Amino acid sequence: MLRQEARPLTVEEIALPPIQQLIDHMRETMRDAPGVGLAAPQVGLGIQLAVIEDRAEYFKSVDPAILAERERAPVEFLALVNPRIVSQSEDTVEFFEGCLSVAGFSALVKRSRSVVVEYRDAAGQPCRLEATGWFARILQHEIDHLYGRLYIDRMESRTFATIENIGRYWKDLPIDKVREALKLS
């Protein structure tokens, strides 16, 4: 399922109790992990649905300079149905990224610094949002899942490592220092 393109939901389907219940279940699954996003293909369903939430408690012990570098701030819970990126910056940023479907690992992934996304919300209403920094990264990651792509398809392969080793060797280092140490161009 993770490698297949998910199908869009109709407005009528979004309103159905099973989809509304699925949104609630996905929110709980994401929080239990804990994670900042979860797409329906990750729970075995080939539909274009993702949930996102980046709670302040997830990064309360992170150095404010690191948060600023990553442009990371809390993101309220969002259910995104049929999301699509309608524009993205040519300006890119690179950070370590992980995934609940590739548990225990992380790697450097280059992504657009900002995106504009159009989607339908949990009520089926059309929405549009602009995101930068970490929020933009989360959106790109989850939308990739809806098209059968994983972060490992975009990663700098020499940086793929266990979370434990990243914490041991690279935690809180600026990305340019990680690239320098690994002799990445």
At 19, give phi and psi (nearest 5°).
-70, -40
pLDDT at 184: 87
Total residues found in the chain within this entry: 185
Share of the chain above pLDDT 90, in %: 89
Domain 11-91+112-153 matching CATH 3.90.226.10: the answer reads: no
Calculate the CA dihedral of residues 44, 109, 160, 46 and round it to 10 degrees: 10
- Which residues, other chains included, contact 78 with Cβ-Cβ below 8 Å and sequence gap of 6+? 51, 52, 53, 121
**How many CB atoms sit inside 10 A of residue 164's CB?**
10
Ordered by start, the domain boundaries in the chain are: 11-91+112-153
Residue 134, helix vs strand vs coil: helix
Given a cut of 50, the residues of the chain with pLDDT beneath it are none
pLDDT given for residue 125 in this prediction: 98
Residue type, 117: V
Smallest CA-to-CA distance from 170 within 101, 104, 112, 95 is with 95
- Residue in 5, 142, 164, 180 annotated catalytic: 142
21 vs 175: CA distance, rounded Å: 40
Q: Can 69 be counted among the known catalytic residues? A: no
pLDDT in tens, 101-147: 999 999 999 999 999 999 999 999 999 999 999 999 999 999 999 99
DSSP code of 148? T
Hey, what amino acid is at 124?
Answer: G
